[in-house]
Amino acid sequence: MPKRGAVPDDRLLRILTRLSSVEASSSGSARLCEVCADVVVMSGAGIMLISGDVSQGSVCSTNDVSALIEELQYTLGEGPCIDAYHQQEPVLEPDLAGAITSRWLAFTPPAVEAGVQAVFGFPLRIGAARIGALNLYRDRPGPLTADQHADALVLAGVAARSLIAMQAGAPSGELAHELAVSGDFRLVVHQASGMISVQLNIGVGDALLRLRAHAFAAERPLVDVAKDVVNRRLRFDDHGPM
């Protein structure tokens, strides 16, 4: 991304022009995902917000498969967006089904079953501030071209700045209305994690890991287990149901 006062390069101008030409009826975050998929010529795209070690949820996704990719990463705590965020560099898997060594043991099987053949994660950041990751997927295997990779890097920068701008006017501690309306933020999961944190006297990040592990072992959706915790049907300490 150019510094303040610098002339934007042709790649950035092309992307910004494309973003401004998308249907005005789409929300800002929805436009971001649509343009990311279109510009890089992918089957779909999604954007995930992450804070510290905790995924906050999906800002947007372009189709059902993209939504599933976001859901799997949120529930399992692994996948290209999670790795891109923590490693602060692109995470590229051009052949998800054919990889000799699977990076993501829980994420890969259901993603492949849904038709994901290649998946690429790009961190969203502004300077030292990390806010999440852009996920791109394709329904056929193969690496990104040099142009696709360069476009994805610029798109990640545009997306990061756009999300910061959307959030700028929101009250402290609250999610901007536009993001809350268009996104998929599992607030009940965060509430349950906070309750487990108190029950076990551990950090919220560790509490979320306990919640995920319980849901995985019980073969139940993470949100359903979280609702049981919030509704006091399930505790994680030795006191049993409230």
pLDDT at residue number 100: 83
The residue type found at 241 is P
Q: How far apart are CA 90 and CA 153, in angstroms?
A: 8
pLDDT digits (tens, 9 = 90+) for 14-55: 888 888 776 554 555 778 889 999 999 999 999 988 876 666
Could you report the per-residue pLDDT of 63-96, keeping only the tens digit for each?
999 988 988 888 788 999 999 999 999 999 999 9
Q: Which two tokens stand for residue 122?
A: 């790009």
Tokens of 77: 């705590």
Give the 3-state secondary structure percentages of the chain, helix then strand then coil, rounded to 5. Answer: 50, 15, 35
Q: What is the pLDDT of residue 179?
A: 53
Residue 11, both tokens: 């790649």
Q: Mean pLDDT, to the nearest integer, of 208-218?
A: 83
pLDDT > 90? residue 237: no
Interacting residues of 147 by C-beta distance below 8 A, sequence separation 6+: none
- From CA 115, how far away is CA 156, in angstroms rounded? 24
How far is the C-alpha of 32 from the C-alpha of 25, rounded, in Å? 13
Percentage of the chain lying above the pLDDT 70 cut: 81
Percentage with pLDDT > 90 across the chain: 36
Q: Pick the residue with more confidence: 32 or 155?
A: 155
- Comparing 53 with 111, the larger pLDDT belongs to 111
The pLDDT, as a whole number, for residue 27 is 54
For the chain, domains (ranges, CATH) are: 10-174 (3.30.450.40), 187-230 (1.10.10)
Share the mean pLDDT of the chain: 82
Pair 107, 72: CB distance under 8 Å: yes
Most confident of 167-181, 183-197, 205-219: 205-219
Compare 108 and 219 and report the one with higher pLDDT. Answer: 108
